[in-house]
Amino acid sequence: MTTGIPAPLHLMRAGLRMLPAPALRLVLRRISASLPRNHPDLVRRLVRVAPGRYLFEPTDLTQRFLLCIGDGGVILTLAAPGEAADAAMRGKLAMLIDLLEGRLDSDTALFARDIIIVGDMNRAVAFRNILDGETINLVGDFLARFGPLAPPLGRAAARLHRRVDAARRRLVGVRDRVHRAAHHGHDPNEDLARTGAQIDDLRHRVGQLERRVRRAPETT
Amino acid sequence: MLTLGPLMLNWEAARRRDFYARIADEAPVGCVHLGEVVCSKRAPFTDRDLPAIAERLRAGGKEVVISTMALVTSKAEMRAVEEMLEAGFLVEANDVSCVHVLAGRPHAIGPLVNVFNEGTLAYLARMGAIRVAPPPEVGIDGLGVFARAEPGVEIEATVFGRLTLSVAARCYHARAYGLHRDNCQFVCAREADGMPVETLDGEAFVVVNGTQTMSHGYAAAIADLPRLREGGVRRFRLMPQDVDMVRIARLFDDALGGRTGTDEAMAQLRAACGEVPFVEGYAHGRPGREWRGQDRLPDRLLH
Amino acid sequence: MTPRYLELVCPAGTPAALRTAVEAGADTVYCGFRDETNARNYPGLNFDREEMAEGIRFAHAHGRHVLVAINTFPRPGQVALWHRAIDDAAALGANAVILADIGLLDYASGHHPGLRLHLSVQAAASNTLSLAFYRERFGIRRAVLPRVLTVKEIGALVERMGVEAEVFAFGSLGTMTEGRCILSSYLTGRSPSSDGVCAPAEHVSLSEEDGEMVMRLGPLTMNRFGRDEPAGYPTPCKARLVARGIPSYLFDEPVGLNMIELLPELKAAGVTALKIEGRQRSRAYVAQVVRAFRATLDALDRDGRAPRIDLSAIAEGSKETLGAYRKGWR
């Protein structure tokens, strides 16, 4: 699944290791404050469907994080030692981030033993399912809130993301025509043959762009 | 009325004949189900002595109903159903394919057909179902809803014995013996009351009977009989287990007839069933394996 | 004979997954309402009426279809909830509803004669007679076949069943006959048939004991996994159990079904649609599986063969099987 750790995550992990607790608390507070602005639907649904206290325990860090979802909204803080929670998720930081940002399927991670979830499974499942409804960018948010590196990195990544999106939209458009043909009783094979090359070309280009996105932080 | 359900276990021919001879002569049941429900490989053996056993039971004044396979897989099995109909037996369907064949004629529906609500019940009644024994998940309240919704259909509750929890194409009995179903050596005949299956921590889980899993304990719904009756349930099914079924039938008959009280009947039932635990959860809308009855089994057996 | 187009039917547990599936190349997406009328009734999952309307609009705008799964069995005295689900799916323009219960099939065919009916795998119709029952009485147009048939048996059945055949291509498969297993409610009180959940999350617990991951369902231990041993779902049919003193996967191992290599055979057998299981899983799963199947189907159409795509990492138990599609499974 996640092969190798992308550079932004390295930065984030380094940041988490180096930052003194008060500074880290400030960053977390700012991320918490930005959530209702950037993801109002997500926050509303989390509060309604998955209220509770969720502990995140990266096995490769000394800190643990507590996400409180309740009437006060969604608040991310550093967890105190022995902090009580409804459910806890344990695994490498990269895994936890991939899960939270929707890149990794939590069942897959559980099957592979990359994570373990303990506590109230009903809440944990609700939390996971609600979170999966929207794309959030924790690493980006984190980096955007500390360090001079953030702006150029963010701009480069955004540019590439836009190009990937455009290419993907074209691919979906081609695909739509095939499906219309298939569902309306035309011979889809004919259509497929005609558009096959086009799809291949687009897929190739999307692949290239995606690889560049992955490499982006190193190349900027 | 008390009914003796189909024998789900693989007992050898001699034992089967003796068992039904005693039922015919001594058990206070009005109706006995015959026919292989579990495994197509057992069917040729079960079918061979079926006519003689049916004759014996009829001579003893019992109605004989033929229960069909839970998973119909071959044309031969459907032909067997047709033959039973021609021979004048009432047939109980345990699979939708069989319902299709029986439609338009009076027939019964067994617990392995998904009759979960009054909509399905009404449809099946229109097609000729005159008796329906719903699956275990339909508890006492649900049976009451059924009886009120279709007064013309006799609703039957399973009140004693192991409950079937799943059916499959795969044989777990053969797997436990390191065998394949095609070459199973009929290892399911080695356990007269099913093969106990435990968790890694030694908790009782289920009993395997060939391709089916069954409850690790027996249903023992003596205390529920009054409520079932009030709800309109007219028939009470006892599933044959490796215990004295004549004694079990008498005990339920006495409880139904008001000749013994619930506590006394429960104590007698407990004594008749050795160390096998009881279960009752489904009847009350709780996890099926639960038992809160008053027989006070030692804790280790309640796990 | 030119082999027919194989329709790729993909899961969507959330509106986001629906969009992901469409973008990844699904022909058809199936989903359910947010209640016990569908067989993936897990917290935080599924669609309210507004989301369903929006999802159907989105899919239709892209020329794709949406099937609404109403594939549980209504409880006694509560059928109204299920009837409303059918009415709403029809009103919102669903391309078909997926049903299992006889009473619901009767209701839908009577009240919505124009609505296309698919028979859910929960009805476990695996022979011509049961399929004839549903076809002749309710006019079903398609049946999802249980995962117990070999490819050869599927081919023979397709010729005689008189409705379209949809088969499972990928995902977690139970070994028990679908719709006829109540092991989950035996332990927890809730089951796929009535509640739309197997091994409901509120009865599942995971813990770490001496490096082992212990998985419990209700009061019972379903499994203990060694330090790096791949895990599966806490469903009773994947439990590690002891029979005759020997611990084993008595019913079935925790493995995921993947018959991507059998696609040419299924196509030749006359199958209409391929179903990807997994409405309980995330967008990442949907994207990965749908893309792999899309690429393979396209390559098969173009070249008659396709490079093998490895999906084992996302399969249950991190391991794949052809299940019953190859003889010997029983």
Report if residue B302 sits inside a domain: no
Nearest to C329 by CA among B175, A100, B246, A200: B175
Q: Which domains does chain C have, with CATH numbers?
A: 7-174+255-325 (3.20.20.70), 192-248 (no CATH)
Report if residue B177 sits inside a domain: no
* Residue of chain A minimizing CA distance to C202: A122
- pLDDT value at residue A144: 76
C282:A188 CB<8 A: no
Residues β-bridged to residue B2: B236
Distant-in-sequence, close-in-space partners of B34: CB < 8 Å, separation ≥ 6 = B6, B7, B20, B46, B50, B53, B54, B57, B64, B65, B66, B67
- The token pair at B214 is 């069954």
Q: Is the pLDDT of residue B300 over 70?
A: no
Give the mutation candidate from C102, C120, C126 for the B interface (greatest B CB count, under 10 A).
C102
**Long-range CB contacts (< 8 A, 24+ apart) of B176-180?**
B176/B208, B176/C243, B176/C244, B176/C246, B176/C248, B176/C250, B177/C244, B180/C328, B180/C330
Q: Is the pLDDT of residue A218 over 60?
A: no
Q: Is the pLDDT of residue B254 over 90?
A: yes
Distance of residue B103 Cα from the nearest chain C Cα, in angstroms: 10
Query: Residues of A with CB below 8 A from C314's CB?
Result: 1, 105, 108, 111
Distant-in-sequence, close-in-space partners of B142: CB < 8 Å, separation ≥ 6 = B116, B134, C75, C76, C77
C-alpha dist (Å) from residue C81 to B135, C93, C97: 21, 19, 15
* Residue of chain C minimizing CA distance to A119: C205
Q: What is the CATH number of the domain that holds B109?
A: 3.20.20.70
List of chains touching C (3+ CB pairs within 8 A): A, B
Q: Is the pLDDT of residue A184 over 80?
A: no
| Strand order, beta sheet including B164-168 | C176-181, B164-168, B212-215, B204-209, B195-199, C241-243, C246-248
The structure tokens 């298939």 sit at A182
Report if residue B134 sits inside a domain: yes
- pLDDT value at residue A196: 59
Task: Give the HSE-up count for residue C323: Cα atoms under 13 Å, Cβ half-sphere.
Answer: 27
The rounded distance, in Å, linking the Cα atoms of A215 and A195 is: 30
Question: Per CATH, which fold does A7-144 belong to?
Answer: Nonspecific Lipid-transfer Protein; Chain A (3.30.1050)
B218-231 confidence digits (pLDDT tens): 999 999 999 999 99
Give the mutation candidate from C177, C246, C327 for the B interface (greatest B CB count, under 10 A).
C177
Report which secondary-structure segment, H or E, holds C97: strand C96-99
A102-132 confidence digits (pLDDT tens): 888 999 999 999 999 999 999 999 999 999 9
First to last CA, chain C: 32
Q: Is the pLDDT of residue A147 over 60?
A: no
C241:B198 CB<8 A: yes
A130:C44 CB<8 A: yes
Instruction: For residue C248, count other CB atoms closer than 10 A to its CB.
Output: 14
Q: Taking a C-beta distance cutoff of 8 angstroms, is the pair C111, C87 a contact?
A: yes
Q: Is the pLDDT of residue A215 over 90?
A: no
Q: Taking a C-beta distance cutoff of 8 angstroms, is the pair A55, A88 a contact?
A: yes
Q: Taking a C-beta distance cutoff of 8 angstroms, is the pair A198, A174 a contact?
A: yes
Judging contact as 3 or more Cβ pairs under 8 Å, the answer for B and A is no
Query: Residues of B with CB below 8 A from C223's CB?
Result: 200
List of chains touching B (3+ CB pairs within 8 A): C
Dihedral angle sign, alpha carbons of residues C276, C278, C279, C282:
negative
- pLDDT value at residue C1: 42
Q: Which of residues 107 through 146 in chain A touch C, CB cutoff 8 A?
A: 107-108, 110-113, 116-118, 120-130, 132-135
Distance of residue A73 Cα from the nearest chain C Cα, in angstroms: 17
Count structural domains, chain B: 1
Residue B239's domain comprises 2-164+217-280
Report if residue B294 sits inside a domain: no
The rounded distance, in Å, linking the Cα atoms of C117 and C105 is: 8
Work out the angle at residue C281's Cα, subtended by the Cα atoms of residues A4 and A130, and round it to the nearest 5 degrees.
95
Q: How many residues does chain B have?
A: 303
Residue ranges of chain C with per-residue pLDDT less than 50: 1-2
B215:C248 CB<8 A: no
* Residue of chain C minimizing CA distance to A114: C228
- pLDDT value at residue A166: 80
C285:A105 CB<8 A: yes
Widest distance between CA atoms in chain C: 60
Q: What are phi and psi of B204, to 5 degrees?
A: -65, 135
- pLDDT value at residue A202: 72
Q: Taking a C-beta distance cutoff of 8 angstroms, is the pair C243, B208 a contact?
A: yes
Nearest to C183 by CA among B168, A32, B118, A78: B168
B69-89 confidence digits (pLDDT tens): 998 767 777 788 888 888 899
Rg of chain B, C-alpha, whole Å: 18
C284:A105 CB<8 A: yes
Dihedral angle sign, alpha carbons of residues B210, B216, B219, B220:
positive
Which of C23, C282, C298 minimises the CB distance to A172? C23
- SS3 call for A113: coil
C4 touches chain B (CB under 8 A): no
Domain limits, chain A: 7-144, 151-219
Pair type for strands B235-238 and C176-181: unpaired
- pLDDT value at residue A176: 83
* Residue of chain C minimizing CA distance to B146: C76
Give the mutation candidate from C1, C2, C5, C294 for the A interface (greatest A CB count, under 10 A).
C5
Work out the angle at residue A48's Cα, subtended by the Cα atoms of residues A46 and A51, and round it to the nearest 5 degrees.
65
* Residue of chain C minimizing CA distance to A134: C16
- pLDDT value at residue C3: 54
Widest distance between CA atoms in chain A: 65
DSSP C91: H
CB pairs under 8 A between A and C: 137
Query: Residues of C with CB below 8 A from A193's CB?
Result: 301-302
Q: Mean pLDDT for chain B?
A: 94
The rounded distance, in Å, linking the Cα atoms of C184 and C206 is: 17
- pLDDT value at residue B272: 98
A163 — pLDDT class (breaks 50, 70, 90):
confident
Q: Mean pLDDT for chain A?
A: 80
Report if residue B105 sits inside a domain: yes
Report if residue B225 sits inside a domain: yes
DSSP A118: E
B119 touches chain C (CB under 8 A): yes
A44 touches chain C (CB under 8 A): no
Distant-in-sequence, close-in-space partners of B249: CB < 8 Å, separation ≥ 6 = B2, B4, B23, B27, B28, B29, B238
A149 — pLDDT class (breaks 50, 70, 90):
low
A200 — pLDDT class (breaks 50, 70, 90):
low
Task: Give the HSE-up count for residue A29: Cα atoms under 13 Å, Cβ half-sphere.
Answer: 6
Query: Residues of C with CB below 8 A from B136's CB?
Result: 182
The rounded distance, in Å, linking the Cα atoms of A34 and A51 is: 19
- pLDDT value at residue C183: 97
Give the mutation candidate from B37, B79, B184, B199 for the C interface (greatest C CB count, under 10 A).
B199
For A11-39, what is the mean pLDDT?
87
